[in-house]
Amino acid sequence: MRILVTAGNTLVPIDRVRVITNIFTGRTGTQIALEAHRRGHTVTLLTSHPELVSEMNQGDAPLSQAWTAHSYRTFDDLQVLMEKCLRGDELDAVIHSAAVSDYRGAGIYAPGPQTQFHADSGQWTTAAGPPTLVDRAAGKVKSDEPELWLRLVRTPKLVDLVRADWAFRGLLVKFKLEVGVTEGQLLEIAERSRCQSAADLMVANTLEGAHAWAYLGPLARQYQRVSRRELASRLLDAVEQLHKEHNRG
């Protein structure tokens, strides 16, 4: 099989030296990509942490010509790489485990003269006229303002572009992380999310349980709870089985 795996986190630039990001490093996606390579598949890995590959492949056979890795930093970087791979390569499966930013920066501002924000009421006030914000965007935003306001706007869901915009018809695996929900709620959210993206498989977990387990499914119309240690192997078992079934069909 020809498999594309995304792994890691995206950066949201505030200026040329500051960013917003998340806590995920891409170890899960890298582990999945390496396991796929060990099974003889042709693998392309898009990762924000390419240094993990050599670290996690220690003691195993050297990577072959069936392995390709590209690094990215920002949402835009990852979007360009994914579109290039999906439009240019005849892939059999996409395993999208990257923790992608839901928002991108769209400006940074300071309150204008006599403009104040009242956190207790959530309201802006000014002595005269409407409240104003002053653009403070710069290569390195100055640190002399009492407070700054960062404007964030939604990014498209890359996993939703896979089918709709990039016309990929192979196997699609989506990942979903939730915080502060029960396992029952997680499964309901995960299945709705899988259907929304037209994904074949979903890997879902909570932040609280992420170190220990994840749900994988639907397998035989159900989600199965698997340990983190088994996740890469169990996921690839499922992808390989679905690929065989699709080829027979």
In the chain, what are the domain boundaries? 2-102+155-248, 104-153
Going 120 to 121 to 122 to 128, the CA torsion angle's sign is: negative
CATH topology for 2-102+155-248 is: Rossmann fold (3.40.50)
Distance CA 126, CA 115 (A): 5
Distance CA 122, CA 133 (A): 16
pLDDT at 249: 63
Distance CA 39, CA 232 (A): 11
What is the pTM assigned to this prediction?
A: 0.94
* Tens-binned pLDDT, residue by residue, of the chain (249 aa): 999 999 999 999 999 999 999 999 999 999 999 999 999 999 999 999 999 999 999 888 899 999 999 999 999 999 999 999 999 879 999 999 999 999 999 999 999 999 999 999 999 999 888 999 999 999 999 999 999 999 999 999 999 999 999 999 999 999 999 999 999 999 999 999 999 999 999 999 999 999 999 999 999 999 999 999 999 999 999 999 999 998 886
pLDDT at 216: 98
Residue among 38, 86, 93 nearest 244 (CA) = 93
**One-character DSSP codes across 45-105:** EEES-THHHHHHTTTSPPP-TTEEEEE--BHHHHHHHHHHHHHHS--SEEEE--B--SEEE
Residue type, 92: D
